Structure 1
Amino acid sequence: MQNVSFRPMGIGRILDRSFQLYRKHFVVLTLIMLILYGPFYLLQHLLTYQETAMTSGSILEQIRNGGSIQDMFGPNSSFLQKDPTLHSEGYIWKTLILVLVLSPIMILGLMPASIASVVHLVKASLYGEETPGVGQLLKKSFARFWPLAGSTFLVGLIVLGIYLGMAIILAIFAIIFAVGGSLSGAVGGFGGGGVAFTIVFFAVLGLGALFTFAYFVIRWGYYLPFVALGEESLGIGRSWGLTRKSFWRLFGMYIVLTLILYLFLIVVQLVVAAVFGVGLGAQLLQSLISILVMSLWFLPYAVSFFDLSVRNEGLGLQAMIDNTIPEATSEHFPIDLDKKND
């Protein structure tokens, strides 16, 4: 084990280490993402490129003509009026294939396998081991396919339940305020103060729901490395313990990462659309660019997992013991095991 650093890292250091790993292992990471996500995006675009091209083309036309947001996305928007296929039988079947076939493959298969490959790559780099090849990383990942898919399915159900619960709460408050506003209007008017209070209340409630949702996603979200490394079958409990006292640091890291990558992708996609249009070729090019940067979403996750392990589970202590105790044993207690009974 060489060149190993087992020191806790801050947000900047985690992101910096992630970008370093991205540059160093760009070819391996890109090939993994292309193998896993390339066929998926190709099938997705073959199914939906006509609808996407029509929608994107209308939006770009509105932008060029100085159209407003209402013109682009309102109920009377031009692309909705021009697109009768949105309600056709063929479009419905495409949507069903996308939702019932391709999306489960992505969520339960491709995503856990790609993240597991990145985890194994980061682990090899952290421990100073020889970098595994593309085939080795994919083999290690798919060796744990069913535990990865099963744990992802379970976590997905839990997260979906939390999401639906918060949506129901928001809907109940919306109904209460709507009924209250109607009653107030009937007896004398709601007033500007009531409107301002409603806006502030729902803004605070929405932010609270967002933070609550993010809290549970982050606290349970680090199950996958435990499963990928063969330490757990589910890993939800280990994830909860691993992320204790680290939510805000992790939340800040993901906010920064999202801003960086989304701004980059939005700019690139606008440039591609302006230069190449919105046809199938342009859509495939945009997907290729997304695949090229996809590992940057997963690297901070993997690096932060090992950082959390250092902070909360003492990662590195066993390595230090393994490196020091055998030397001390051979120096101070030179026992020949073959002659221990003589």
Structure 2
Amino acid sequence: MNSELNRPKRVGEILDQTFRLSKNKFVDFFMIFLILLGPIYLLQALVELMAGASFFRATGTGGDWFEQFITSFEDGTAQAEPFSAAGVGAGIASALLGIASTVLTIIAGAAIFIGVNHIRKSEDFTAGIAIKQAFKRFWPLIGSSLVYFLIVFGMIVVPIMVIGFSGFFIAGFGGAFTEGSFAGSLVIILMMILVLLAAAVGIGYLLTRWSFYIGVVTIDKVAPGIGRSWNLSKGRGWVAFGVFIVLMLITGVITGAFELTLGLALGNSVLYTIIINLVTMVTSIITSVGLAVMFFDLKSRNEAEDLQEMIEDYKQE
């Protein structure tokens, strides 16, 4: 047994274990994503080439380099006429590849959980073994993910609509009293920003507590796993949310740096897309490993509490 993955950990230890595992088992984890998503990204590149995108470097119109950089992305989104046969075909192909990419990303995440579980048990594994075991939970994973995505959709779209209508109401109501006052308008804007931030934090916290469903479905073999994920993260929701924020910031900075530098050099070319997809694989490894480490941390805490309750019950007898 790997003692580091079988005991409760502090926030710093969770992050340290996440990056250590991501580095030590990088080849195995990267092969999981490459085997599953590599063919999808290759097909996406072929679709872009068939739609008329440049492979090495795309340059847009404009006088200076920055204007050309911006227009390369604008022009790259409309290589083929949208209502032409080529445009319709490219759109359908992109949609189908997007769905396949989403499904296989879920399977890849489950395979990462399986890999970390093997490490936790001090067992050897390969990318092929992890993928094969993940596919055994294919339909429970897809069904549970669909439930999770519906929850995400409901929690994001509905509040946005409510806040939007509330903003119009507040703006109209406040305008009647402020009579165009700059200070009054500023207060309304600040109130809207605070409401949006509060809603984002609340939604992020709830979704974090439900996000461990993938481990429940894959490791515990319970579907859909949303309720068990909520119970498993009881008392550690804010800690998990904080770890997620740190991981999102780190992976976001990495992705943003590559997108900016490569975008300046290559524009919205096919090569740019391929490299960014490879970077996305790497950041997805970090996020998936972090989620798995947190999941097993929660399991160790939960199992420790269950063991303590059994001991107390035995003493009472």
TM-score when normalising by structure 2: 0.83
Residue 103 of structure 1: which of 98, 105, 119 is its match? 98
The 2-side partners of 1:195 and 1:22 are apart by 48
Matched, 1:141 2:134: yes
Kept in 2, the 8 Å contact 1:6–1:315? The answer is no
Kept in 1, the 8 Å contact 2:178–2:184? The answer is no
Alignment correspondent of 2:216: 226
CA deviation vs aligned residue, 1:136-182 (integer Å, no higher than 9, x gap): 1111000110111111111111221122211221121122134336x
Residue 204 of structure 2: which of 211, 214, 220 is its match? 214
1:135 counterpart letter in structure 2? G
CA deviation vs aligned residue, 1:208-259 (integer Å, no higher than 9, x gap): 2211221221121111111112430211111010111222211211111111
C-alpha deviation, 1:2, in angstroms = 5.9
- Change beyond 3 A, Cα 1:80–1:137: closer
Alignment correspondent of 1:152: 145
Matched, 1:255 2:249: no
Alignment correspondent of 1:120: 114
Kept in 2, the 8 Å contact 1:215–1:247? The answer is yes
Q: Tell me how many residue pairs correspond in the alignment.
A: 306
C-alpha deviation, 1:93, in angstroms = 4.6
2:179 aligned counterpart, secondary structure: coil
- 1:1-342 aligned at under 5 Å gives the runs 1=1, 3=3, 6-48=6-48, 57-58=59-60, 64-65=65-66, 79=74, 85=80, 87-89=82-84, 90-99=86-95, 101-107=96-102, 109-129=103-123, 131-180=124-173, 184=176, 189-314=179-304
The 2-side partners of 1:128 and 1:217 are apart by 31
Alignment correspondent of 1:338: none
Q: Which runs of 4+ in 1 moved over 6 A?
A: 51-56
C-alpha deviation, 1:198, in angstroms = 1.2
Kept in 2, the 8 Å contact 1:310–1:316? The answer is no
- Change beyond 3 A, Cα 1:205–1:52: farther
CA deviation vs aligned residue, 1:7-59 (integer Å, no higher than 9, x gap): 21122211211111122212111111101111122223333466876997449
2:145 aligned counterpart, secondary structure: helix
Kept in 1, the 8 Å contact 2:114–2:219? The answer is yes
1:113 counterpart letter in structure 2? I
C-alpha deviation, 1:122, in angstroms = 0.9
Kept in 1, the 8 Å contact 2:33–2:108? The answer is yes
Alignment correspondent of 2:314: none
C-alpha deviation, 1:96, in angstroms = 4.2
The two structures, once aligned, show a CA RMSD in angstroms of: 3.4
Could you tell me the percent identity over the aligned residues? 27
Out of 157-166 and 297-306, give the one that drifted further. 157-166
TM-score when normalising by structure 1: 0.77
The 1-side partners of 2:43 and 2:88 are apart by 16
CA deviation vs aligned residue, 1:263-297 (integer Å, no higher than 9, x gap): 12222233333444542223212322322343112
| Gap regions ≥5 residues in structure 1 | 322-342
C-alpha deviation, 1:314, in angstroms = 2.4
1:106 counterpart letter in structure 2? S
